[in-house]
């Protein structure tokens, strides 16, 4: 393609809410056949809210929320923000107790000392190890996941004591975006650190095939998933928003960042979807095909 044609494509991209790093990016877009979509913050809004609190006997919901909220206050994860905000709102003065020795394990959860208790919050295996959750936490977790909600397991002083249910909403534009990607002959894949049940439910809601759902992937392994698809001969576009997506965005043949996402994702990507509207991913691919197609 001529440089002039590429510049025209770049200008049209800006009108569509697509920020292109350089005109050469359009060249790599043309061959894409697979679009990997991060779940939280990309297919969904990432704006989580606390829905319910479940505790074992002898523990009050207020105590569980205070300890978990104080701990999550130190984390920037969307789940953490939902828990900390709800916990602060439940305090008479809006102030949560401080946390000591805070530690974040990306993709798994957080831990720290609050009011003399060593508190853990995050994925069940991270907090609880192996073995079944005690009732009524098990029932709460299963019912949450059936509905596509995320269950955060909370424990302190060596025992699991609560499950907090947080909900994230699928972006209203995501199902149409998936339809448009399919119409371009692309295969959509859902990639997430969240558990299988939640991932399956979101995939169903937006029209991604169940055999194209890759769940429970640790942040450092997302790039390896992209590399594996490439090794199968696929040309991969990846759309993400988080710090945990940056390596995968860089690894992909074409990296697209949500404009509503983190600086790390935007820096690693070739394109930014300014309005955080996933339909612009399909527009970007259609635009580059058309720009390059007319010149050849």
Active site residues: 38
Tokens, residue 142: 């299963």
Per rule CB under 6 A, is residue 121 in the interface with ligand ADP?
Answer: yes
Quote the least distance from Cβ 74 to ligand ADP, whole Å. 9
Neighbours of 22 (CB within 10 A): 10
Options 18-26, 50-58, 106-114, 233-241: segment touching Mg ion (CB under 5 A): 233-241
Options 23-31, 56-64, 75-83, 227-235: segment touching ligand ADP (CB under 6 A): 75-83
Task: Rank residues 160 and 166 by Cβ distance to Mg ion and give the closer one.
Answer: 166
Quote the least distance from Cβ 162 to ligand ADP, whole Å. 12
Per rule CB under 6 A, is residue 80 in the interface with ligand ADP?
Answer: yes
- The residue from 10, 75, 260, 291 that contacts ligand ADP (CB under 6 A) is 75
Per rule CB under 6 A, is residue 64 in the interface with ligand ADP?
Answer: no
Total interface residues for Mg ion by CB under 5 A: 5
- The residue from 10, 34, 174, 244 that contacts ligand ADP (CB under 6 A) is 244
Q: In whole angstroms, what is the distance from residue 6 CA to residue 19 CA? A: 13
Per rule CB under 6 A, is residue 38 in the interface with ligand ADP?
Answer: yes
Task: Rank residues 122 and 276 by Cβ distance to ligand ADP and give the closer one.
Answer: 122
Per rule CB under 5 A, is residue 41 in the interface with Mg ion?
Answer: yes
* Cα angle, residue 185 at apex, residues 184 and 191 outer, rounded to 5°: 100
Total interface residues for ligand ADP by CB under 6 A: 24
Options 112-120, 191-199, 257-265, 281-289: segment touching ligand ADP (CB under 6 A): 191-199
Quote the least distance from Cβ 199 to ligand ADP, whole Å. 8
253 binds, among Mg ion, ligand ADP, none (CB under 5 to 8 A by kind): none
Per rule CB under 6 A, is residue 194 in the interface with ligand ADP?
Answer: yes
Task: Rank residues 242 and 255 by Cβ distance to Mg ion and give the closer one.
Answer: 242
- The residue from 29, 111, 174, 192 that contacts ligand ADP (CB under 6 A) is 192
**Sequence-distant (≥ 6) Cβ neighbours of residue 250 within 8 angstroms:** 223, 268
Which residues here bind Mg ion, judged by CB under 5 A? 38, 40-41, 241-242
């Amino acid at each position: 393609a001529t440089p002039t044609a590429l510049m025209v494509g770049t200008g049209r991209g800006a009108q569509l809410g697509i920020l292109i790093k350089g005109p050469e990016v359009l060249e790599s877009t043309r061959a894409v056949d697979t679009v990997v979509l991060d779940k939280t913050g990309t297919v969904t809004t990432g704006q989580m809210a606390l829905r319910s609190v479940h505790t074992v006997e002898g523990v009050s919901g207020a105590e569980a929320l205070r300890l978990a909220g104080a701990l999550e206050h130190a984390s920037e994860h969307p789940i953490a923000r939902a828990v900390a905000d709800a916990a602060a709102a439940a305090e008479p003065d809006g102030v949560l107790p401080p946390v000591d020795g805070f530690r974040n394990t990306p993709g798994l959860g957080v831990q720290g000392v609050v009011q003399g208790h060593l508190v853990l919050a995050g994925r069940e295996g991270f907090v609880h190890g192996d073995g079944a959750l005690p009732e009524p936490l098990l029932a709460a977790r299963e019912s949450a996941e059936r509905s596509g909600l995320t269950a955060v397991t909370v424990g302190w002083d060596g025992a699991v004591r609560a499950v907090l249910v947080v909900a994230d909403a699928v972006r209203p534009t995501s199902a149409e975006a998936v339809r448009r990607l399919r119409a371009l002959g692309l295969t959509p894949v859902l990639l997430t650190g969240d558990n299988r049940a939640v991932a399956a439910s979101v995939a169903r809601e937006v029209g991604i095939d169940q055999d194209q759902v890759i769940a429970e992937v640790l942040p450092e392994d997302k790039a390896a998933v992209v590399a594996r698809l490439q090794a199968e001969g696929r040309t991969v576009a990846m759309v993400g928003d988080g710090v945990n997506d940056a390596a995968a965005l860089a690894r992909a043949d074409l990296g697209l960042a949500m404009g509503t996402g983190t600086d790390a994702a935007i820096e690693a990507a070739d394109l930014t979807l300014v309005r955080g509207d996933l339909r612009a991913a399909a527009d970007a691919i259609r635009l580059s095909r058309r720009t390059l197609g007319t010149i050849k």
